[in-house]
A and B are shown apart, each in its own frame.
Chain A
């Protein structure tokens, strides 16, 4: 029964990891940008939410309505300025620039928000309560909600990319920015929109993690970015459903590891990550053609 519990908890945590990963996956899939500041931006979103709740006393869930658009606008602005500027100098430059951004954000958070951990909505019933399955399995409402949110985000993203005008332009610009220009599309604007969407999901990820656990200035790189990477690589780059699968595999591996020995939780996840890199480097849901 303990193993069943581990698997259920793992699958649900996988939803959170998929939420971490989908913005990273989108930025890479469209702009070929590996955004090393991804996790830190999620933490920034969480801190903005904490700030908004503290100052305006809006209900916790209402803060989402403010933070997600704010991060989307920030995403568009960053893409159109420093990320596009780095892209113009070559794809590798984006690694340096986003790494620098990551350092700046982390230190700014330490400077202005201290090293203390904070959480979002710790007093909410949603965050604290759980329901029982049988006598031994306790499932937190929050994890179920996060998992559902991840599935909805991925479904929505899938639909947007495949059926909408801008989704089509995003895929076209990802394939060949110059040919997109010849069709009248400003790929820089299109990339900005893709970044805005990615940052919207980053905001959700940061706030979800702030409710599930705690946020500190370094959480972005030591947890969110690394788990996002692991989920993306396990699932297969550029595939949205692979991202969910990757998140779930990572979550289950961690929970099973924790079941064996509580200190092996994170290690078990990375062992699976490593195994996938060695045995199936294209990820579990391999796409036949890349670009």
Chain B
């Protein structure tokens, strides 16, 4: 899958999103356009607003202003379950499996309101071959990496059009992260679009067709990984002043 040139209509579009957490402004006017088939990566430091952005797209946070469009339709007013049924499915940060349910039950919950499509529980078992043997175990008994795989499987069986991946690498060993991201081509081959949030910048640069860097709720850099230098990423990530970048920098200061 190569990132297509910006299509006439993006599959997912976010316009000038502003989100408040109480007094705190988590996002101050974020926009993005994700075309079908892309792997769009949001990077940024802790507290940059990455997870808030993804959760708002999934419908878990009501934005103060701005809109979320999916396939040309405004979904800003839709509840999270309605968005999931339309094909915006998120793998949440921290995996959030149903701890008292078995592996298979977790997948079956994910498949309850599935759109028609190629992903089935059987197919998930084929992709993660250990899972079938352990399908009757409670997910609490699995390792972090295995839990992450179940969380991805639970999202896939819903047959999403856009898969939102929130910090897949959080709390996992590098080997495990490699293995999980190694599954991405297989997932993309089924025609999915991926929007992911990642603190691990090198990982994001390796898999993404497009990256966008956030700092304190603003976009500090965006573009194709090939067009972006490591210095630009560093400057955008930490908010270093005086370094040229593709778009405007936030009010940066020396750390």
Contacts and interface: CB of A to CB of B under 8 A. Distances in A.
A50 to B, nearest CB: 40
A17 B154 CA distance: 40
A28 to B, nearest CB: 15
A56 interface: no
B52 to A, nearest CB: 14
Interface string A248-269: 0000000000000000000000
Contacts of A291: 99-100
B58 A175 contact: no
A73 interface: no
Contact of B79 (A175, A180, A186): A186
Interface string B76-111: 000111001100011010001111110001101110
A183 B140 CA distance: 19
Contacts of A185: 81, 109, 112-113
A198 to B, nearest CB: 18
Of A165, A174, A179, A180, most B-chain CB atoms within 10 Å = A179
B68 to A, nearest CB: 15
B29 to A, nearest CB: 26
B84 A178 contact: no
Interface string B43-70: 0000000000000001110000000000
A178 B96 CA distance: 9
A289 B60 CA distance: 27
Interface string A142-169: 0000000000000000000000010011
Interface string A70-102: 000000000000000000000000000000000
B158 interface: yes
A183 B110 contact: yes
B79 A172 contact: no
A181 interface: yes
Contacts, number: 81
Interface string B3-34: 00000000000000000000000000000000
**Contact residues of A: prevailing secondary structure:** helix
A182 B80 contact: yes
B140 A175 contact: no
Contact of B99 (A169, A183, A289): A289
Contact of A171 (B89, B97, B100, B155): B100
A134 interface: no
Contacts of A184: 81, 84-85, 89, 112-114, 158
B109 A169 contact: yes
Interface in A172-220: 172, 174-176, 178-186
Interface of B: 58-60, 79-81, 84-85, 89-90, 92, 96-101, 105-106, 108-110, 112-114, 140, 154-155, 158
18 contacts: A169-B109, A171-B101, A172-B105, A174-B100, A180-B81, A181-B59, A181-B81, A182-B90, A183-B89, A183-B110, A183-B113, A184-B85, A184-B113, A185-B81, A185-B112, A185-B113, A289-B99, A291-B100
Q: Which 3 A-B pairs have the closest CB atoms?
A: A184-B113, A184-B84, A179-B96
Given A183-B109, A289-B140, 6 more contacts: A168-B112, A181-B60, A182-B84, A182-B89, A182-B90, A185-B112
